[in-house]
Amino acid sequence: MSEERLRRVRDRVRPFPDFPVPGVLFRDISPLLKDPAAFKALIDLLEDHLRASFPKIDFIAGLDSRGFLIGPPLAQRLGIGFVLIRKKGKLPGPTESVSYALEYGKAELEIQSDAVEPGQKIVIIDDLLATGGTMCAACELMKRLKAEILECLVVIELKLLKGSEKLQSIPFYSLLQYE
């Protein structure tokens, strides 16, 4: 991993105290998305990691909504497809859905029932892992479709919230970690 590329990505994540509620330190990737060189460095790093880790991946599955910003360019680089995991009520056709707890409430995720075939190899991606509720819900959806989850991949992990522990035996990788 290139330390310079990693520094370039880290330098473009800015903290916002007390957002969305008092006591939360929000990690904002907006500056990273605005900087083409930093965003390219991010995709390069994630691509390098996945190519070194997995000989075959069928799809990148991205979480609504920031996973949609990172997943498609990464999937394109790898020459594979991208699958949407959306908030409830946003996808047409038959879907699978799952409810889960958020840091500040409850939510529901869904995926189209035919998004992946049994046994297909999937990497689930999002921008950030906090308490792990959203990522665990995404994993549950993939398990229902009988996909093989190779890894859960995020740009930022908030270590203090121990979200990766909820993933149990599912491999997990974060590019940047914060306490």
Alpha helices in the chain (DSSP H): 3-10, 30-34, 36-53, 67-78, 133-144, 163-166
Give me the catalytic one of 47, 96, 103, 148.
103
Q: Could you tell me the residue range of the domain that residue 73 belongs to?
A: 1-177
**What pLDDT was estimated at residue 155?**
98
What pLDDT, on a 0 to 100 scale, did the predictor assign at position 37? 97
Buried b (16+ CB within 10 A) or exposed e, 117-147: eeebbbbbbbbbbbbbbbbbbbbebbeebeb
Q: What is the pLDDT of residue 1?
A: 54
**Domain containing residue 50: CATH number:** 3.40.50.2020
Where the chain has pLDDT below 70, the residues are: 1, 103-104
Beta strands in 116-164 (DSSP E): 121-129, 148-158
The catalytic residue among 66, 110, 151, 157 is 66
Please report the pLDDT score of residue 104 as a whole number: 66
Q: Is 66 a catalytic residue?
A: yes
pLDDT of residue 167: 95
Q: What is the pTM of this model?
A: 0.95
Domain count, the chain: 1
Q: What is the pLDDT of residue 66?
A: 96
In this predicted model, what pLDDT tens digit does every residue of 125-160 receive, in sequence order? 999 999 899 999 999 999 999 999 999 999 999 999
Residue given tokens 């957002």 in the structure block: 19
Question: If we measure between CA atoms, which residue out of 104, 106, 166, 171 comes closest to residue 132?
Answer: 166
Does residue 120 contact residue 149 with C-beta atoms inside 8 Å? no
Measured CA distances, 125 to 12, 22, 43, 129 (Å): 19, 27, 12, 10
